[in-house]
Amino acid sequence: MSGAGEMRWYVVQTQPNGEAKAALNLRRQGFEVYLPRYLKERRHARKVDVTARPLFPRYLFVAIDTATQRWRAIQSTFGVARLVSNGDEPACVPDGVVHAIRAREDGRGFVALDLKPAFAPGDRVRVVAGAFMDSAGLFGGLADHHRVSILLEMLGRKVRVLLDADMVAAA
């Protein structure tokens, strides 16, 4: 357990799509809250939408001094599902985790994600979303900042396809 005056970070699980609501209500109670977000690009019908999304859907961080703050009130806060705990005590986040996430934020406060794929040209990959879902192929390389080129075996021949990087995983 923390000593008096020692603020530590803890994890709150929110209700579905309730991260912003929980953060607002926790701040109103005087808690310091950190809800890391990133910018997600979504392509649909030749249109690209960019929206801010939680880095950890349904979770946020809250700083608590368990010796001096009424942290049990978090459990009944509107938008909160539960405070992640070990038994009766809240489970503290290891030192440096929140700092490391904040260090990756850009000037607008969004966490910059590393979009480089985890595979090299020629590696076997599979498509995990979209029209070619469950197809296997070979990684060809990066097409641009957000898309990758893969070779798929279709109708007896290899076809080069460009897909969003998040639609492809190692086979």
CATH assignment at residue 54: 3.30.70.940
Q: Is residue 16 part of a domain?
A: yes
Same domain, 98 and 128: no
**Is residue 112 in a domain?**
no
Question: What is the reported pLDDT for 75?
Answer: 94
Lowest mean pLDDT among 84-98, 119-133, 135-149: 135-149
Q: Are residues 87 and 128 in the same domain?
A: no
Which structure tokens are listed for 103? 């260090």
For residue 117, the model assigns a pLDDT of: 66
The pair of structure tokens assigned to 124 is 């076997």
Domain, as residue range, for 166: 124-170
Share of the chain above pLDDT 70, in %: 93
Instruction: Give the tens place of pLDDT for each residue, 55-83.
Output: 999 999 999 998 899 999 999 999 999 99
For residues 84 and 13, membership in a common domain is answered with yes
Residue 111 CA to residue 113 CA, distance in Å, equals: 6
Minimum mean pLDDT range among 57-71, 97-111, 120-134: 120-134
Are 35 and 91 within one domain? Answer: yes
DSSP 3-state of 95: coil
Instruction: Give the pLDDT score at 170.
Output: 83
User: How far is the CA of 77 from the CAs of 17, 68, 83, in angstroms?
Assistant: 15, 18, 10
* 18, 92 contact by CB (below 8 A): no
The reply to whether 56 and 128 lie within a common domain is: no
Report d(CA 84, CA 86) in Å as an integer: 7
Q: Which of 163, 2, 37, 23 has the alpha carbon at shortest distance from 79? A: 23
How many independent structural domains does the chain possess? 2
